[in-house]
Chains A and B, each alone.
Chain A
């Protein structure tokens, strides 16, 4: 019995690193998160947010942004699955971290939350630019809204905004509607028009603009109206998820707890929507929601089970793929009615919506077109909020072999008859001609 225990412990201790290996295709939710701070006071002033993360099982590691010992990777392995930059004023990261390291971190499939603020450093702005957003270039500019501001005790500069212009996506923001507006105080940014992946999750109202509240407005503000994004997200092509916001204080305990009343509105909410909004969106960022995987891509001729190396034109075939969604703890069947399959060679020759059995299996059957070439089975499922599924599998389609055509065609019987009667006639004629005398 003791021996068995020993084996158990030994095997667990060997397997433990693998079991804990957080970001894997099997368990996409992040585990180890590095939080870089300007100073440790943020730990307590934003403790509600951090505690919410910890309670969901994340292992947060707090470091000062200029700590000379910080590093994202060691021996080529990333130490963290996600990075939270709550250090808007850092001029230079400590250790081996720089913008390129952060970009590489994201490009190898890890997630990132960036919170900038007024007087954000060039470094943070550069990170924003890499992620496809441009912060207002004026370092002291803030988002000001004289109509959509939050009513508060200190009446005056209208830089505390109450915004409720959310992106319409249950996957990103959770199923429960966010009732209360979001309190925001900070710098605005615009999404780069060249970037097709960045999305505005929370936009400013049409009456907002970005300017220095302390100085007089001499030139038209560069960012105005709903072009200003308050919170943006990016889902990179490798499904790394990024959150960029211009306000660090929106994560703070004070904003989480305070009530909110939007100017011009009679409804006074006891509690701002910040907590719900940021918690839900962090679930999305850390892959607790909206993460799909496609497995078991199968295709074969109707009536067969083995996958052929190539098809023949006009073959009937069946295609099936299983798609699952990560619920945060387990893989659940993904249910949708708009997953489409393309049979593609430079353009789709067949485009079919896959039928689902509600247990994750999507399948269809169709006839290979009468065209030979190198085709691809393509599933390009890109739905707002979900990881983009793009499966492609190359499969050549060959023409008929010489002995796969019909041997006798009914339409040709007159010709067969003509040929054979000609032969017979010639034979008889020759015979008669040679031996008639």
Chain B
């Protein structure tokens, strides 16, 4: 800002060098205003780029360079395979260590974008003679792409508003907790690169619409291809863009630019997306992609009508022609869709898609989706937590967008509104809304600050308005000069400006605090505060997985609830029955049934699946609440959904889920209860409490005398978080 306030704006006057001799020396280096602005912009962007990266490194500093959570372990394992065996083996990889005995065609059931990206970075670094391990590349991929996202946000902001808004957008998105939650170092998940790809595709498309050039349309098709290769969330793009086009058509903003951009993007994007095996022919066969196709045909109808209008001079005749054509087109489209759906050629919408449109759908129909915590409807607090002031700036930004409607602002408004709705439906979709919220808020911040500063400087600048400033600020200033009559206007503007800076600084501190406290935990290593305020680390997961790796035969099969499947295969290197790729509900239900049956019934199921070890997660000793007992009702529900012998009321007492003496008898004797609480009744967990006091649920357990017949305890980690049981062979003499 000091550059602007300089009375002689053409001279670079760094305050430390203000004496005349140095300024004489620096004369050759003097920069023009434009150059100064460019320099500032570039340096701000560089700083934001670095900031976005380093703010995501808390987890590495607090813990270590490690992969977080559940899904990233699968991504890491596949990336490792990709770098070791090459692309074609990866593409054709049949993984027989998961989903025993069904196996999984990994190459055909994943979005390879993330792995290929990481492998390419790894190759590049090795080509440059940086001998890094692939794990480090994986850990830092998400922060790296978050940094790239800030650049995209800048250009996007510049495209829809101006470069000031772009800069603010870049800063906001760099630290926004909604995005950081999925892109801290170690969070090696599809979303890490997908948000970059999503925003990049949108940017390229908006650019293509603004420019109307085939080249930008082609670029957006490739951006879309990268997005499709990276994340299933590409469905959002392929539905939002047609919706946007439809809105433009309805509001009479149809143009040749739009026609070129959409057709190029849709046709090429579709052809490219078909190259991803997991997506395949879905673009022409699945109900979720039909909107894009319908809009594509509608565009042709519009083009045709435009041409006819051009040829016909009689407006009345054209009106009639229009009504007939539109009716026919809509009818033909409707019939085609109906026939396609009826003949089974077009698959109906999937449950996941339904659950997005109707938040209560999953709860009633698909327990496996409802059971995932990140699929729950969002609480207000988490909006506040993830967006902070952006939540208030968002409507303000919408106001500014509506005030200056253009094709680009319509797009960002639609993106913001739809993604906000989806963010309300599912917690994890806050991530998708974050870029839109940041961009729209950036417009609000930028426009407000600009107006206020113009107001502040109006007196000084009145003389030079016409000469140096752009038209937009000139307009704003002239408006400001109209409001000259208001009293204390300058002081008010100053106060507002300070208020804005105060809010933004609060936002920065909030973001840093959230990142460091909430979003940097790897969740595979747990941390707690000890009695004396010291940090206690529970590294039980890795302890258990390494025990499996070291002490069990290489072809041993481990049964656990699906949450831990990816980790067991990646870290324990053992075969699992089910894992986080929940593609086969029946198989998961079988495991759920085994866990909720009595031991002898469960033993039959366990034997039929050739299980050697059973792994359960138990938090009763440490008070770790996301353990298997707390997830148990979902096992019952999912198991009962396929096998009606499992009934949820059998495990509840008056609709209440409890594990103490008042618990249901089936609950007290089911396999999960026995495996979790085996020998726990002898244990003193808290001073002043009876033995067998469960700290996660705060009760004394109901069945302390647990005898196991067909399983035996093989390993329990130091804090009892993971317990592994060995399945005994059938009795020798019986």
Contacts and interface: CB of A to CB of B under 8 A. Distances in A.
A82 B563 CA distance: 49
A106 B732 contact: yes
A285 interface: no
B102 interface: yes
A305 B733 CA distance: 40
A197 B733 contact: yes
Contacts of B94: 310, 372, 396, 398-399
Interface in B570-619: 608-609
A107 interface: yes
A133 to B, nearest CB: 11
Contacts of B733: 103, 106-107, 130-132, 195, 197, 234, 236-237, 242
Given A195-B733, A196-B734, A399-B105, A374 B608 contact: no
Contacts of A401: 88, 92
Interface string A105-136: 01100000000000000000000001110000
A237 B732 contact: yes
Nearest to B108: A399
Interface string B165-198: 0000000000000000000000000000000000
A373 B101 contact: yes
A396 B91 contact: no
Contacts of B91: 402
Interface residues of B, number: 19
A107 B732 contact: yes
B349 interface: no
B101 A345 contact: yes
B155 interface: no
B103 A197 contact: no
Contacts of A132: 733-734
Given A345-B101, A372-B105, A373-B101, A396 B732 contact: no
Q: A interface, how many residues as a size bin?
A: 20 to 34
Interface centre among B100, B101, B734 (most CB of A within 10 A): B734
B96 A396 contact: yes
Contacts, number: 62
A160 interface: no
Interface string B715-734: 00000000000000111111
A396 B102 CA distance: 9
A130 B732 CA distance: 11
Contacts of A255: none
A372 B730 CA distance: 29
Interface string A172-204: 000000000000000000000011110000000
A243 interface: no
Contacts of A396: 94, 96, 103
Interface in A307-329: 310
B555 interface: yes
B600 to A, nearest CB: 12
Given A346-B608, A372-B103, A238 B732 contact: yes
A236 B733 CA distance: 5
A389 interface: no
A237 B101 contact: no
Contacts of B96: 310, 373-374, 396, 398
A360 to B, nearest CB: 28
Contacts of A107: 732-733
Contact of A394 (B88, B102, B555, B732): B555
A53 B103 CA distance: 54
Interface in B75-132: 88, 91-92, 94, 96, 100-103, 105
Nearest to B608: A346
Contacts of A237: 729-733
B734 A194 contact: yes
A234 B94 CA distance: 44
A251 interface: no
Contacts of B609: 346
A194 B730 CA distance: 13
Interface string B523-535: 0000000000000
A394 B103 CA distance: 13
Interface centre among B731, B733, B734 (most CB of A within 10 A): B733
A174 to B, nearest CB: 25
Interface string B249-267: 0000000000000000000
A240 B105 contact: no
Contacts of B100: 374
Nearest to A398: B94
B101 A374 contact: yes
Contacts of B731: 237
B591 to A, nearest CB: 14
A94 B343 CA distance: 81
B107 to A, nearest CB: 8
A236 B732 contact: yes
Contacts of A310: 94, 96
Contacts of A373: 96, 101-103
A18 to B, nearest CB: 27
Given A310-B96, A394-B555, A402-B91, A346 B732 contact: no
A284 interface: no
A395 to B, nearest CB: 9
A345 to B, nearest CB: 5
A375 interface: yes
Contacts of B730: 237
A401 B86 CA distance: 14
Interface string B694-734: 00000000000000000000000000000000000111111
Contacts of A375: 101
A242 B734 CA distance: 12
Interface centre among A103, A237, A373, A374 (most CB of B within 10 A): A374
Contacts of B105: 372, 399
A214 B71 CA distance: 77
B730 to A, nearest CB: 6
A412 to B, nearest CB: 14
15 contacts: A106-B732, A132-B734, A195-B733, A195-B734, A196-B734, A197-B734, A236-B733, A310-B96, A346-B608, A346-B609, A374-B101, A396-B103, A398-B94, A399-B94, A401-B88
The list of the 10 closest CB pairs from A to B, nearest first, reads A398-B94, A396-B96, A374-B101, A401-B92, A236-B732, A107-B732, A374-B96, A373-B103, A345-B101, A236-B733
Interface of B: 88, 91-92, 94, 96, 100-103, 105, 555, 608-609, 729-734
Given A401-B88, A401-B92, A402-B92, 11 more contacts: A106-B732, A107-B733, A237-B730, A237-B733, A372-B105, A373-B96, A373-B101, A374-B101, A374-B103, A398-B103, A399-B94
